Amino acid sequence: MATIKLGMLVSNIAGSIGGTTFRRFRGGVQVYNKAKGASDSKTLRNPKIKQLNDVASSWKSLTATAQNNWKSAALLFSFFDKFGDPKFLTGFELYVKLFNFNKNIGSPLPDPTTLSNTVTTSNLSNIVLNLGSPYFIEFANVVANTTVIVRITQISNMSISPTFTNREIFYSQSIAVNKQLDFSTEFLAKFPNVKANEVFAVYYTFQNSDGFQSVEAFINSAIV
């Protein structure tokens, strides 16, 4: 991995060229050499890839009216692209994005005529990673029509900076009633040999009932 500084000839770069990937982060741009990808058979067995393909394919089963509703909705909402610039999606792209996000947490297809990109969040008030159990995070308030998505990765020490990349969803829960997310069962299943003082980065994102998400936040915490 290398970090590059952009100059007059190239002022912005992101994405992949050949075997090299350029990734933007808060301090600049990093360059990665791609490792050999997974085999086709392994990729096809990935349930999330199948889910995404199924969602994309389901667009064809929508009525013309429903497709037009999604096309109209797409004109109302912009998203940031790889360069941090606002971009409008097509109706199909918006449908796939929001429906897939909702499927990830077991929620239904949003109604394109009533979409809202308002995502209400809450401050994190507590995190507990106790050796053996419990393992949970807790927020200051309950929030209606909101699900928290948690992703966890083990890191070497508390000073490691966050890396905002695609990660497998570790746990998700509505906080409409309960503001504490207890993922003890999931944590012990994924990290059965965890030891005291080992450090984990806990990433969390708020998602509303229409599939729109907040900016991902994180906290580092050690096992006690």
The answer to whether the beta carbons of residues 199 and 220 sit under 8 Å apart is: yes
pLDDT at 70: 98
- What is the CATH number for 148? 2.60.40
pLDDT at 82: 77
pLDDT at 43: 47
Q: Are residues 22 and 62 in the same domain?
A: no
pLDDT at 165: 84
Q: Are residues 86 and 168 in the same domain?
A: no
pLDDT at 221: 97
The answer to whether the beta carbons of residues 80 and 86 sit under 8 Å apart is: yes
pLDDT at 84: 82
Query: Per-residue pLDDT tens for 14-37?
Result: 665 555 666 665 555 555 555 555
Total number of domains in the chain:
3
Domain annotation covers residue 119: no
Residues of the chain with pLDDT under 50: 1, 38, 41-44
Domain that holds residue 82: 40-104
Domain annotation covers residue 113: no
Q: Are residues 45 and 29 in the same domain?
A: no
Domain annotation covers residue 17: yes
pLDDT at 20: 63
SS3 per residue for the chain: CEEECCCCCCCCCCEEECCEEEEEECCEEEEEECCCCCCHHHHHHCHHHHHHHHHHHHHHHCCHHHHHHHHHHHCCCEEECCCCCEEECCHHHHHHHHHHHHHHCCCCCCCCCCCCCCCCCCCEEEEEECCCCCEEEEECCCCCCEEEEEEEEEECCCCCCCCCCCCCCCEEEECCCCCEEECHHHHHHHCCCCCCCCEEEEEEEEEECCCCECCCEEEEEECC
Inter-CA distances, 207 with 10, 58, 150, 221, Å: 35, 22, 11, 23
